[in-house]
Structure 1
Amino acid sequence: KLTGNEEIKIGQKIKAYIERINVKARRMSLVLPQKEKPVMYR
Protein backbone atom coordinates (compact mmCIF):
# COMPACT_ATOMS: atom_id res chain seq x y z
CA LYS A 1 0.00 0.00 0.00
CA LEU A 2 1.64 3.16 -1.17
CA THR A 3 0.36 6.62 -0.22
CA GLY A 4 1.84 8.34 -3.26
CA ASN A 5 4.70 10.06 -1.43
CA GLU A 6 7.10 7.15 -1.79
CA GLU A 7 9.60 6.82 -4.59
CA ILE A 8 11.00 3.31 -4.75
CA LYS A 9 13.67 2.51 -7.30
CA ILE A 10 14.67 -0.86 -8.72
CA GLY A 11 17.37 -2.44 -6.54
CA GLN A 12 16.69 -0.13 -3.59
CA LYS A 13 16.59 -1.90 -0.22
CA ILE A 14 13.49 -1.17 1.82
CA LYS A 15 11.81 -2.55 4.93
CA ALA A 16 8.28 -3.87 4.58
CA TYR A 17 5.77 -5.76 6.68
CA ILE A 18 3.80 -8.69 5.29
CA GLU A 19 0.11 -7.81 5.55
CA ARG A 20 -1.35 -11.00 4.07
CA ILE A 21 -0.42 -13.99 1.93
CA ASN A 22 -2.80 -15.57 -0.59
CA VAL A 23 -1.44 -19.04 -1.32
CA LYS A 24 -3.97 -19.89 -4.04
CA ALA A 25 -3.32 -16.73 -6.06
CA ARG A 26 0.40 -16.74 -5.11
CA ARG A 27 0.24 -13.10 -3.96
CA MET A 28 1.72 -11.18 -1.05
CA SER A 29 0.46 -7.87 0.27
CA LEU A 30 3.25 -5.72 1.72
CA VAL A 31 3.04 -2.54 3.81
CA LEU A 32 5.83 0.01 4.20
CA PRO A 33 6.51 1.20 7.77
CA GLN A 34 5.58 4.79 8.54
CA LYS A 35 8.46 7.24 8.82
CA GLU A 36 6.35 10.00 10.39
CA LYS A 37 3.84 9.87 13.20
CA PRO A 38 0.28 10.22 11.88
CA VAL A 39 -1.75 13.27 12.89
CA MET A 40 -4.16 12.22 15.61
CA TYR A 41 -7.75 13.47 15.49
CA ARG A 42 -10.08 13.73 18.47
Structure 2
Amino acid sequence: SGQLVHSYKGTGGIFEVCWNSRGDKVGASASDGSVFVLDLRKL
Protein backbone atom coordinates (compact mmCIF):
# COMPACT_ATOMS: atom_id res chain seq x y z
CA SER A 1 0.00 0.00 0.00
CA GLY A 2 2.99 2.33 0.42
CA GLN A 3 1.75 3.44 3.86
CA LEU A 4 4.44 4.52 6.37
CA VAL A 5 4.29 2.18 9.37
CA HIS A 6 7.25 3.49 11.38
CA SER A 7 10.01 6.07 11.16
CA TYR A 8 13.39 6.44 12.85
CA LYS A 9 15.22 9.69 13.49
CA GLY A 10 18.95 9.09 13.19
CA THR A 11 21.92 11.15 14.28
CA GLY A 12 23.15 12.07 10.80
CA GLY A 13 22.62 11.49 7.11
CA ILE A 14 22.22 7.79 6.31
CA PHE A 15 24.94 6.27 4.09
CA GLU A 16 24.05 2.58 3.90
CA VAL A 17 21.07 0.41 4.85
CA CYS A 18 20.90 -3.40 4.78
CA TRP A 19 18.46 -6.13 5.88
CA ASN A 20 19.35 -9.46 7.49
CA SER A 21 18.45 -12.69 5.67
CA ARG A 22 15.26 -13.23 7.73
CA GLY A 23 14.05 -9.70 7.04
CA ASP A 24 13.40 -8.89 10.70
CA LYS A 25 16.38 -6.58 11.34
CA VAL A 26 17.85 -3.64 9.47
CA GLY A 27 21.24 -2.04 9.97
CA ALA A 28 22.42 1.38 8.87
CA SER A 29 25.44 3.66 9.06
CA ALA A 30 25.24 7.43 9.43
CA SER A 31 27.42 10.34 8.32
CA ASP A 32 28.52 10.99 11.92
CA GLY A 33 30.14 7.52 12.10
CA SER A 34 27.39 5.85 14.11
CA VAL A 35 26.05 2.41 13.20
CA PHE A 36 22.76 0.98 14.41
CA VAL A 37 20.65 -2.15 14.11
CA LEU A 38 16.86 -2.07 14.49
CA ASP A 39 14.92 -5.20 15.43
CA LEU A 40 11.74 -4.71 13.42
CA ARG A 41 9.85 -7.30 15.48
CA LYS A 42 9.96 -4.89 18.46
CA LEU A 43 8.64 -1.78 16.71
TM above 0.5, yes or no, is: no
Return the structure number with greater relative CO, CA threshold 8 A, min gap 6.
1
User: Under a length normalisation based on structure 1, what TM-score does the superposition of the two structures give?
Assistant: 0.30
- Per residue, is there more helix in 1 or in 2? 2
Give the greater-gyration-radius structure (CA): 1
Provide the TM-score with structure 2 as the length reference.
0.30
Structure showing the higher strand proportion among its residues:
2
